[in-house]
Structure 1
Amino acid sequence: MKKQFIPSIILNDKKAVKSFFDKTVISENPVELAVSYNDANCDAIIVFDQSTDDKSHEDSLDILKEICSKTDVPVIGAGNVKRMEDVKKLLYAGCKMAALNFSKAENAEILEEVSKKFGKDKIVISYADTAESRKIVADNAAAINELASLMIFMPESAAVDGLNSNAGFAEKLVSNPVVPEEGVKDIPHIVYLDNPESDLSNLKGGALAVLFSDQVCAITGSALSANAQNINDLRKFAIEAGIDVQTFEAKYKWEDFKLDSNGMVPVVVQDYRTDQVLMVAYMNEEAYNATLRTGKMTYFSRSRNELWEKGDTSGHFQYVKSLTADCDLDTILAKVKQIGAACHTGSYSCFFNEIAKKDYTEKNPQKVLDSVYNVIADRKVNPREGSYTNYLFDKGLDKILKKCGEEATEITIAAKNANGNEIVYEMADYLYHMMVLMVEKGVSWEDVTDELARR
């Protein structure tokens, strides 16, 4: 079981607070905080909603949706789940999984319903190290094993007090380890370490010992979140300690590549969402291994004769999504999440000096849809006289919905006709009107494709 590092965010009144018991605000903007965790190379993010009424819960769901859209790692939604509708809202907001709190007996009653509705791979069970919570878990162990795929375990504060004493915590784990409930020990457990005052040395000296447990797949909690910007250091330290942590597993060793005369391999870098080519650089063995270890693109600068982590000085990091070798194993294609601009000129891509171009019709479906969408969005902001798009916007939502309904009907009729061109025409009509609706309601193609990808 690969071990992971999963920071958490506790939402309270639309802000991120220090811990469950300390409402000190650590971020006025939880979305930015989540993005910083994402960019620090975390493996996932858990978001706990501490809202107390329907209005604040809806606010939290809006924040969750934005977190899911702006991060690339799985997001687990937790807190304020009382019925199947709450699970649905978390998943519809974009969460990879939703957590049922088994400190509340009533949540056990909806486990079967939500698991069969959404799938066991979407369901997490959280429980505390208390007699009441353990009993609920023990009484429902058979159902949990069948209907859930992951658990979040929250030891009592006393169990992690030693976090402030490296030797004390590690020693305590050896003699009296943090043990999940017996009946569910075969389900992977994320252990929540609630100590926001913990520093990096505390984590290295003690808390990582939790990951040696066979039942534990990850650590989370305020102790990790307080040190989230050092996750790469924690991961490296854990590897050196013999912990099998989540990293990029390369199918090719450096010696498998055909190197150029300088002992390097060229790397072509693409935006993982759009496939736009961003830049070309070179790797030596050290850069290759650093990229795999950290998840950040690292190169060797031939002009400076030194290792170069992209973004180290500019903040324009490149986070690895995939590395692929060509047929001759002498070039690497890297798909990345680009922060800021890839080019030193400030351009997003280094490839902007057009040499020659022939007029052609764009055939990339996503580019075509994006282009039409952008024109429609521009019409809403910058109206043009006589524009049919502006006519629809001026008439309002009801008119747009009416047209979408009419065009959907036209597709149905066209599908019954023998002429294949007719259905293509009607589908294009419908997509146009659908995009007008998308702009009107503030929905982007990225929102839609992200949701399709999650499915």
Structure 2
Amino acid sequence: MSYKRLTPCILIDGAKAVRWFDDKTVISDDVVSLAKHYGERGADELIVFDLSNSDENHEEAIDLMKKINRVISIPMVAGGNIRRQEDVKKILYAGAKRALLNLSKPGTLKLLEEAALRYGKERIAVSLNDFDALFKHQHQIEKYCTEMIFMHRLDLNSVVNITEIPCVVVTDTMEQKEILKILKSDGVKGVSGLFISQKDMDFDAFKNVCLEEGIRMTSFESIMDFAEFKLNSEGLIPVIVQDYKTNEVLMMAYMNEDAFEHTIKTGKMTYYSRSRQERWIKGETSGHFQYVKMLTVDCDKDTLLAKVEQIGAACHTGNRTCFFQSIAGNDFDAKNPLQVFESVYKTIVDRKQNPKEGSYTNYLFEKGIDKILKKVGEEATEIIIASKNPNPEEIKYEVSDFMYHLMVLMVERGITWEDITKELSDR
């Protein structure tokens, strides 16, 4: 196992985050904000455990998983109260990279096989707190899943001697020495639990501790040295910064070697302030950090392009981007397809939140889900009929009608275009 991961966990009970499986002390009333907090502080992955016992609370937990998935850019593994195939589907559709099945529960082996055959073994993980279960069911585990979650009281050395499937250890220890010992185990992919899930956990700082202990951690590594770049007369290289999702250009700044190395080391965009003549970690005072997703260099090696996850505004004026003042240009029709969808979607959301008299959109919302579904069905039928006509203009018209009514349905059911595009990209 080359690189190790730091994976905080969130235990959901009654729509709140609690401390541990046998300790229901509430640590956060806002589960979604807690997940976002972990992601922004440098966690590599997130495990979400649903501790519910009822279908109603289970559905509530799955809704929270959907909301978590919208605000984090790290992978999520989720499980808990999975009793049937439908539960696996709902958790995966909520955005989980893998559904976590508890092998200590009766009937899980059959469910494991069915889920792996339906969704692929790469979408399935299993949790174990019993070494005998691993020994007894090793064949099924290796055949139907790609990751194991271990509760720490297992003998890790014995585990790695039995199977090569990577594991994440979930432990209640608060001892840093013990965490380091776990991470040094060959078969361990990552560690989770109380220590890793502390609210004030500085993941980047702890990764440095791990590196000093000879543990290779998931982090950025540059395949080029700073010395290979062509610098300006001040020894700096300009950096153009883009939003990694929308490709919107956010700002331009400069890096010296120290800023570049700090960016690679921490995953946070760091620049050199020419006015203050010092290192400048973007967001250190405002909280508007930029988390690196990708760094590329241009053909002349004299300019960097950084694709980032931007927290808040990039510009000191409070604007999302520093490039907001138009100074020249002609009228032109620039319609990014996704931006058009998002613009119409936002208009529909606004109509629902701020009804306008005579609005057809408001009429649909007032009539309710049955009316909306009826219109979606009618428009789908119209597309089929129009497709028999060799003239594509009629198809275009009917598809537009269908897409509008589909977006009304999406708003009614709380589904966003980001949910759809993420689901498509995961397939």
Q: In which range does the TM-score fall when normalised by the shorter chain?
A: over 0.9
User: Is contact 2:160-2:186 (8 Å) kept?
Assistant: no
1:37–1:228: 8 Å Cα contact kept in structure 2? no
Distance 1:259 1:116 in 2: 54
Counterparts in 2 of 1:398-409, with a 5 A limit?
A: 398-409=370-381
Decide which structure has greater helix share. 1
- Give 1:382 deviation, angstroms: 3.5
Q: Which moved more, 1:379-388 or 1:359-368?
A: 379-388
**How do 1:41-440 and structure 2 match up within 5 A?**
41-128=42-129, 133-156=130-153, 178-181=156-159, 184-195=162-173, 198=174, 202-203=175-176, 205-226=177-198, 229-440=201-412
**Do 1:248 and 1:293's aligned partners in 2 also have CA atoms closer than 8 Å?**
yes
Tell me the TM-score normalised to structure 1 length.
0.89
Structure 1: 5+ residue runs without aligned partners?
Answer: 160-176
Deviation at 1:227, TM superposition (A): 6.1
Q: Note the alpha carbon deviations across 1:359-418, whole angstroms, 9 max, x for none.
A: 222321111111122222223333444433333334333222222112111211222322
Distance 2:255 2:39 in 1: 25
Over aligned residue pairs, what C-alpha RMSD do you find? 1.8
Amino acid at match of 1:91: L
TM-score, L = length of structure 2? 0.95
SS at match of 2:259: helix
Task: Give the SS at the match of 2:23.
Answer: coil
User: Conserved in 1, the CA contact under 8 Å of 2:101 and 2:108?
Assistant: yes
Distance 1:261 1:182 in 2: 54
Q: Which moved more, 1:239-248 or 1:357-366?
A: 357-366
1:111 Cα offset (Å): 1.5
Name the count of aligned residue pairs.
426
Per-residue deviation at 1:182? 5.6
Residue 24 of structure 2 aligns to a residue whose secondary structure is: coil
Moved more, 84-93 or 396-405: 396-405
Aligned residue for 1:266, secondary structure, equals: strand
Q: Per-residue displacement from partner, 1:25-63 (whole Å, max 9, x unpaired)?
A: 111111111111010111100011111212221111111
Q: Give the 3 Å change call, closer, same or farther, for CA 358–184 of structure 1 in structure 2.
A: farther
C-alpha contact 1:77 1:98 (8 A) present in aligned 2: yes
**CA contact under 8 A between 1:75 and 1:95: conserved in structure 2?**
yes
The structural deviation recorded for 1:229 is 2.5
Contact 2:128 2:134 in 1 (8 A): yes
* Match for residue 450 of structure 1 among 401, 416, 422: 422
Instruction: Measure the CA separation in 2 of the matches of 1:125 and 1:441.
Output: 31
Q: Distance in 1 between matches of 2:402 and 2:329?
A: 32
- Confirm or deny: 8 A CA contact 1:145 1:184 kept in the other structure: no
Which string of whole-angstrom CA distances, capped at 9 and with x for unpartnered residues, describes residues 198-245 of structure 1? 2xxx42x34112111110010111121126631111111111221111
Alpha-carbon distance in structure 1 between the residues aligned to 2:109 and 2:200 = 32
1:291: Cα distance to partner?
1.0
